[in-house]
């Protein structure tokens, strides 16, 4: 249980807080002024940031997992859970960071946006259970990252993956719209 929470915190925090720092650094150095006069498209920027942080999260989470449990406890569901969790939190972090002027502002308002996504941790720790947690992407993330130890039924695994994807799609469009409104236009 502890290892799942630690590994869950890696892609979520790495994607969320790193992208905030990266975007605010790029914003502060006026990189966006020059970046988007090139043929480089906004969707390419978003996908490249999301993919690079998701891969970084996958590497760090896998290393932690392998050194703790070995190769026998590594599964495809674990890998997909890490990648999709990182993608979701990276996009949310990007959408928030682009609206902020400083890193302090980002850190100040971040909990307001992400507090709801931490609620399934209460259920995972058996502190407070509700079926409503299944509507949030973090519940699916936790269950996918737990798959090497308690594999879900195939149908459940597909539902968990679909829940994460269902949250990633609007997160992408929200980040895209935020970027377009606060930087490009």
- Residue 4 has what pLDDT? 84
Phi, psi dihedral angles at 40 (to 5 degrees): -65, 125
How far is 12 from 29, CA to CA, in rounded Å?
26
The per-residue pLDDT for 85 is: 93
Low-confidence ranges of the chain (pLDDT < 70): 11
Give the Cα separation of 93 and 19 in Å (integer): 6
Distance CA 15, CA 177 (A): 19
Q: How far apart are CA 108 and CA 102, in angstroms?
A: 10
The three-state secondary structure class of 30 is coil
Query: Can you give the pLDDT at residue 40?
Result: 80
What's the pTM value of the predicted model, to 2 decimals? 0.92
Tokens describing residue 39: 């043929």
Task: Using a pLDDT cut of 90, give the percent of the chain over it.
Answer: 55
Helix boundaries (H) for 29-151: 31-35, 42-69, 76-97, 103-118, 120-124, 137-145
Is the Cβ–Cβ distance between 173 and 42 less than 8 Å? Answer: no
pLDDT in the model for residue 72: 80
Three-state SS for 38?
Answer: coil
Instruction: Note the pLDDT of residue 39.
Output: 81
């Amino acid at each position: 249980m502890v290892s799942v929470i630690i590994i869950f915190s890696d892609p979520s925090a790495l994607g969320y807080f790193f992208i905030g720092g990266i975007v605010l650094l790029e914003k502060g150095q006026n990189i966006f002024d020059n970046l988007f006069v090139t043929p480089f498209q906004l969707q390419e920027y978003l996908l490249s940031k999301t993919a690079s942080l998701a891969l970084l999260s996958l590497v760090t989470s896998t290393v932690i997992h392998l050194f703790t449990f070995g190769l026998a406890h590594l599964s495809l569901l674990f890998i997909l859970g890490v990648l999709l969790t990182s993608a979701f939190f990276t996009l949310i972090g990007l959408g928030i960071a682009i609206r902020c002027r400083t890193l302090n502002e980002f850190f100040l308002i971040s909990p307001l946006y992400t507090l709801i996504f931490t609620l399934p941790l209460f259920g995972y720790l058996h502190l407070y259970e509700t079926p409503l947690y299944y509507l949030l992407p973090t519940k699916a993330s936790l269950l996918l990252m737990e798959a090497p130890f308690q594999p879900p039924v195939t149908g459940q695994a597909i539902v968990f993956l679909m829940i994460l994807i269902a949250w990633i799609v609007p997160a992408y469009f929200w980040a895209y719209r935020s970027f377009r409104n606060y930087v490009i236009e």
